A and B are shown apart, each in its own frame.
Chain A
């Protein structure tokens, strides 16, 4: 499982950027298909992208919260570069937390055009 874990690993580290990638893919593919096949459904597309953005942010927030827990709530400052299990855990957790922040911003930026687009084009 990716969530409710005791220790972080590479999979929990990759969760936020993977969600970002899936969200980006969804926006891009859904936008392309709707604009090519049913441009009148732009309103629904906007709602779908809003829902996908909300879902993506919830998952990223959960991954970030778990990372904060794995990080020991910041009890130990970076860099976590000692060859110990403790530092490995803190390093992975802190990297996950940073990636969660980046992914959240990227998801919001990726969804922003849906807010402004007025039509699909001729």
Chain B
């Protein structure tokens, strides 16, 4: 390669470096970033990360600095006593003190991450490959799916378990992740502080559609949350005809409260049209996507238990889509 080729390669390398750094920094904010916290737990985790990063940077600089010093400036060997003293201090005592400080800093977070008298209890069950979300309120339970809404500034207790395999519940912007284990209830307390829309994911490989098991998280003003919960509690107020939905057996697996559809195998659809996403964070909730999800389920979400209804007549799919779209 000539000098010109070498320069071109250098330019390319630089561009790749800049692009890489841009990508890395771009990942620091947004709806699914632990470094852009919107809740108390995530803020603690982010602080822990920055402290650890600063500590690691200082240690790295000290080690590289010592190596440079030894290679460049200290040309004669040190005496045996001085060498042993360096090993004792730099190799044992200082690392022990640093580790003790970092360990204490990390352990200090343990009680913080569970603290708070909850104002709200939500039971979230992981199922292949979606989330069953049940609000436990004084007026009874309200079931929904693939969407978590929380009031800002109020601690929310999330009770986590699983109906099949191990899943993991992770909303990076709000808190660290916690496993959902069949036969065990894990408790997580969230303290969301900033209103906005965030994204939660399954953080433990749970099967073929694991990567398509997400949910949206909406942190709302408390009054707006109460209004939403009241709407969510109400039975379906469909304006379209439920005929095709019921005739094709959808109600065997899905519930639409206030109708003969009372299945509990799949997600509750009582207010499905009001949710931001379809198929557990897979698609935007638009009429075209709803129709696609019903007719190409397995193709969109491999391993899902719902069969694809692509064989239905077009007018049946239209009717189902119109009905789902009216479930607000």
Residues of A within 8 A of B (CB): 77-78, 101, 105, 108-109, 112-113, 115-119, 121-122
The chain A residue with its CB closest to the CB of B187 is A122
A116 & B108 in contact (Cβ 8 Å cutoff): yes
In the complex, chain A residues whose CB is within 8 Å of the CB of B110? 113, 116-118
* A77-B84 contact, Cβ under 8 Å, with A122-B185, A122-B186, A122-B187: yes
The chain A residue with its CB closest to the CB of B113 is A118
A112 to B108, CA, bound (A): 10
Of B80, B104, B114, the residue contacting A121 (CB under 8 A) is B114
B92 & A119 in contact (Cβ 8 Å cutoff): no
Count of inter-chain pairs, beta carbons less than 8 A = 36
Residues of B within 8 A of A (CB): 80-81, 84, 92, 96, 99-100, 103-104, 107-108, 110-111, 114-115, 159, 185-187
A118 & B107 in contact (Cβ 8 Å cutoff): no
A116 & B159 in contact (Cβ 8 Å cutoff): no
In the complex, chain A residues whose CB is within 8 Å of the CB of B104? 112
The chain A residue with its CB closest to the CB of B112 is A118
A98 to B186, CA, bound (A): 42
In the complex, chain A residues whose CB is within 8 Å of the CB of B96? 105
The chain A residue with its CB closest to the CB of B159 is A122
The chain A residue with its CB closest to the CB of B108 is A116
Closest 9 CB pairs of A and B: A118-B111, A122-B187, A116-B107, A116-B110, A105-B96, A113-B107, A112-B107, A122-B185, A117-B110
In the complex, chain A residues whose CB is within 8 Å of the CB of B114? 118-119, 121
| Nearest chain B CB to A45 CB, angstrom units | 15
In the complex, chain B residues whose CB is within 8 Å of the CB of A115? 107
A27 to B130, CA, bound (A): 38
| Pairs across A and B, CB under 8 Å, 14 listed | A77-B80, A77-B84, A101-B92, A105-B96, A112-B103, A115-B107, A117-B110, A118-B114, A119-B114, A121-B114, A121-B186, A121-B187, A122-B185, A122-B187
In the complex, chain A residues whose CB is within 8 Å of the CB of B99? 109
A62 to B104, CA, bound (A): 27
In the complex, chain A residues whose CB is within 8 Å of the CB of B81? 77
In the complex, chain B residues whose CB is within 8 Å of the CB of A105? 96, 100
B108 & A109 in contact (Cβ 8 Å cutoff): no
A122 to B99, CA, bound (A): 30
In the complex, chain B residues whose CB is within 8 Å of the CB of A117? 110-111
Residue of A116, A119, A121 with most partner-chain B CB within 10 A: A116
A109 to B107, CA, bound (A): 11
In the complex, chain B residues whose CB is within 8 Å of the CB of A101? 92
Known: A108-B100, A121-B187. 10 other contacts (CB 8 A): A113-B110, A116-B107, A116-B110, A118-B110, A118-B114, A119-B114, A121-B114, A121-B186, A122-B159, A122-B185
| Nearest chain A CB to B136 CB, angstrom units | 14
A105 to B103, CA, bound (A): 12
In the complex, chain B residues whose CB is within 8 Å of the CB of A118? 110-111, 114-115
A122 to B110, CA, bound (A): 14
The chain B residue with its CB closest to the CB of A102 is B92
* A116-B111 contact, Cβ under 8 Å, with A101-B92, A122-B159, A122-B185: yes
The chain B residue with its CB closest to the CB of A116 is B107
B103 & A109 in contact (Cβ 8 Å cutoff): yes
A105 to B100, CA, bound (A): 9
A118 to B109, CA, bound (A): 10
In the complex, chain B residues whose CB is within 8 Å of the CB of A109? 99-100, 103
The chain B residue with its CB closest to the CB of A98 is B92
In the complex, chain A residues whose CB is within 8 Å of the CB of B186? 121-122
A58 to B133, CA, bound (A): 53
